[in-house]
Structure 1
Amino acid sequence: MDASPDFPRQSRAPVFNMPGVVTASIAVLVAIQAIREYLLSDVRDIQVVLDLALVPARWTVWFDPSRVAEVIQAAASGDPDVAAMREAFARYVTGQQSLEPWTLATYALLHGSWMHVLFNSVWLAAFGTPVARRCGAWRYGALALAGILAGGLLHIMIDPLSATPLVGASAGISALMAAAARFVFQPPVSGYGTQPWQRTAHRPAETIPELLRNRTVVSFLAIWFVTNLLFGIVSLPLGAESAAVAWDAHLGGFIAGFLLFPLLDRKFPPTR
């Protein structure tokens, strides 16, 4: 006689069983990229980027019009083959004298290429899924939005003279990644087995001292920061020439997600 408990079978593999809000997020990003690639003319697509991407120089000049000359000079430096084009774009942006505050969030809806959007979709599925399952849809969305806003602000602060449009959902994904790091790498609770039904369903997020004692978390954070440092040194655009992804936006999003997660996390009874 088999005395083992009868547990329900998973109808689908976990990788194909994402929460609806994560699936919807990926679908939106892919749909926007498809519309830009296949339905919009080049002129209209450029206008979409101008209207929705985050341009630090636009914000800098709006708050301090006296820095227009600095922005133009910074754009004209570097590779002479594209300097004239960058300078012309900088003159256009600074001549608008328009803040366009919505771009602090909408830049995350655009991507530089299919490779860029697919790369971000993979990471969103990997780290958005545990956060959405644990916290629910609106907390998942709030964390992602906070990361997007924080990433955009840090990018403006670090590179205020840049006239290059910033695009990509990486800052929001970095926030979800940081949030997930606070609970997905927890060691098993003493007294429980390693099978899923023998683990406690919910455990509080680890505190910073607990995280620093967790070698898996420390290794993960070290790899993440080194990778982003390399992004800053190498300046890989992951797509179109006119739309680079900034390492500082990743960092701003990560910090926001790491610090805000305990405030947005659901409250669970302590483990025994």
Structure 2
Amino acid sequence: MDATPDLPRPPRVPVFNMPAVVTVSVGLLVLIHLVRTLVPDVWDITLLLDLALVPARWTAALDPGRADEILRAAAAWPGSALEVEARTAFANYLLADPSAMPWTFASYGLLHGSWAHVILNVLWLAAFGTPVARRCGTWRFALIGLVSTVAGGALHVAIDPLSTLPLVGASAGVSGLMAAATRFVFQPAPEPGLQPGLLPWQRPVPARLQTIPELLRNRAAAIFLGIWLVTNLLFGLAAVPLGVSDAGIAWDAHLGGFLAGFLLLPLLDRPERS
């Protein structure tokens, strides 16, 4: 005879405890990169040319008189003779048909350079996009990500207008969502009755955004913002000299996205939140 008491079944725990819009965003980024690894190289190159953001393409379209500057900048970038020849050929290709392709200010965020690039971005997206989606809802979450992506691309073009290196990656949009989350996830003290030990993005969504002076006085938030800024600058400026990456990390795109998300959230925050 079985003497085991008839206990109620435990509740099912979802595998991905994220809002649907975050799960779909993560799945889309992974799926796009997976497809790129499976299609023929010529298709992937065409996709890159049509969707990546190339600053020199915009410069050539808006100011054709800077064509010689673009060619000199392509030839001056460090690398082997073969790499210099390839960059120069690509610069000539851009100058032959200088089309601005405005959609690339957003579409570059759908592409990534490697699986490591994808995984890093989706981890940060899951961690910091989740509280933003819970607080703001689907369309506000999407708008913050889109505006941050565009702002990051715009700052990158403004700072390095002669670059022929294609900009790809969701980092600017993720940085914007990360910045939006810092406005409310780093609370000075746990709320009454809150389970201790929870990570910032696991806590219930606070009712009020912190002001900039409050964030600067909040030790956890200030340390996070300082580490984020310093690491982005170091990796952006030292990635190539240290051999971390063959191409520079677009710290300016990250910064543009971060500033956009930080400033945009108060404008989009739902007034009905209690």
1:218–1:201: structure 2 CA closer, same or farther, 3 Å change rule? Answer: closer
Letter in 2 for 1:215: R
CA shift at 1:255, angstroms?
A: 0.2
Residues 189-247 of structure 1 deviation map (CA, whole Å, 9 limit, x = unaligned): 77x24338xx98642110111111101110000000001001221236987x6x76411
Paired AA for residue 105 in structure 2: L
1:214 is aligned to 2:208? no
Preserved CA contact (<8 Å) 1:182 1:211: yes
Cα distance in structure 1, aligned partners of 2:54 and 2:244: 18
CA contact (8 A) 2:180 2:261 kept: yes
Distance, in Å, in 1 between the alignment partners of 2:68 and 2:31 is 38
Following superposition of structure 1 onto structure 2, how do residues 124-203 of structure 1 map, counting pairs within 5 Å? 124-188=125-189, 192-195=192-195, 202-203=206-207
Equivalent pair of 2:53/2:104 in contact (CA under 8 Å): yes
Matched, 1:248 2:252: yes
Q: Does residue 228 of structure 1 match 2:232?
A: yes
| CA 225–165 in structure 1, closer or farther in 2 if over 3 Å, else same | same
Rounded to whole Å, the distance in 1 between the matches of 2:272 and 2:189 is: 17
**Deviation at 1:10?**
6.7
Stretches of structure 2 lacking an aligned partner (at least 5 in a row): 1-9, 197-202
| Residue 265 (structure 1) aligns with | 269
In 2, Cα distance between equivalents of 1:119 and 1:62: 33
Query: How much identity, in percent, do the aligned residues show?
Result: 57
> Residues 95-135 of structure 1, C-alpha deviation per residue, up to 9 Å, x if partnerless?
11101000000000000011111111111100101100111
Structure 1, 49-58 or 92-101: larger mean CA deviation = 92-101
C-alpha distance in 2, partners of 1:250/1:53?
Answer: 16
Q: Is the 8 A contact 2:75 2:87 kept in 1?
A: yes
Preserved CA contact (<8 Å) 1:146 1:172: yes
Quick one: structure 1 residues 102 and 195, their matched pair in 2 at CA, closer, same or farther if it must change by over 3 Å?
Answer: same
> Does the Cα contact within 8 Å between 2:16 and 2:23 map onto a contact in 1?
no
In structure 2, what residue type is equivalent to 1:70? E
1:25 maps to: 25
CA distance in 2 between counterparts of 1:200 and 1:249 reads 30
Q: TM-score, normalising length from structure 2?
A: 0.87
Change (3 A) 1:201 1:92: closer
> Hey, what's the Cα distance between the residues in 1 that align with 2:133 and 2:141?
5
Pairwise CA distance, 1:168: 0.2
Give distance in 1, aligned partners of 2:95 and 2:249: 21
Matched, 1:118 2:119: yes
Count of residues in correspondence between the two structures: 255
Per-residue deviation, 1:55: 0.2
The CA deviation string for residues 153-211 of structure 1, in whole angstroms up to 9 with x for no partner, is 00000000000000000000000000000100012377x24338xx9864211011111
Counterpart-to-counterpart distance in 1, 2:130 and 2:12: 17
What CA distance in whole angstroms lies between the structure 2 residues aligned with 1:28 and 1:245? 23
Structure 1 ranges of 4+ moved more than 4 A: 236-239
Unaligned residue ranges in structure 1 (runs of 5+): 1-8
What SS does the corresponding residue of 1:16 show, helix, strand or coil?
Answer: coil
Letter in 2 for 1:49: L
Q: Secondary structure at the match of 1:149?
A: helix
Match of 1:63 in 2: 62
Aligned to 2:4: none
What CA distance in whole angstroms lies between the structure 2 residues aligned with 1:145 and 1:200?
25
Q: Report if the CA contact (8 A) 2:237-2:248 is conserved.
A: no
- AA paired with 1:66? G
In the aligned structure 1, how far is the partner of 2:141 from the partner of 2:162? 32
